[in-house]
Amino acid sequence: MDLLDFSGEDMYFDEPVSPEVESLLADAAHRYGEPGAELSLLHAYFLEPEHLTVLVALYRYFYYRHRYQEALITADRAIAISAERLRIPIDWRALTEADLGRSVQVSMSLTRFLLLALKGAGYLLMRLGRSAEALTRFEKLAEVDTSDRLGINELLAMARSAVAEEQIAEVGGNVRFLGR
């Protein structure tokens, strides 16, 4: 399976939103950086909580405002919704290559969206200093994307290095504590 092949499929943003949500998203874009932008996005989310366009807008808002914890929650929501639509396990830890093989029969573009959201969530975990959790996500991606079409190997190496450094620092701290 080629994760870069879309074969003319609709993307998440091709799915129409209600006129009210469209207006709220436009308002949020227009007022980006102002307090009202977030309120418009949250209002849109309450109106269409399972629409991926709304979730992506909310994710981007949180990400660019450096609110990584909120962005992570939003990414996880998008992953769960995508998995449900693809009829694969909602818990990404249970994802297998066989699941992906079935999911691409439903939608290649949504499968790729799910995997990129999982990659983005791992990146956010790195930014939050939660390297071990990021490593778990990156390892799952490497397991199911054996051709590295999503470019996960570099992030995987960074996460492994960060986890190793944290373990060394922890051991060093324990040795100093015992030595005193």
Instruction: Please give the distance of CA 135 from its chain centroid, rounded to a whole number.
Output: 14
pLDDT tens digits for 10-47? 666 678 899 999 999 999 999 988 889 999 999 999 99
Its pTM stands at 0.86
Say what angle helices 108-127 and 52-64 make with each other, to 10 degrees. Answer: 20
Find, among 121, 27, 11, the residue nearest to 69 by Cα: 121
Class of domain 12-128: mainly alpha
CA atoms within 13 A on the CB side of 61: 29
Q: Over the stretch 87-105, which tens digit does the pLDDT of each residue have?
A: 999 999 999 999 999 999 9
Domains of the chain, by residue range, sit at 12-128
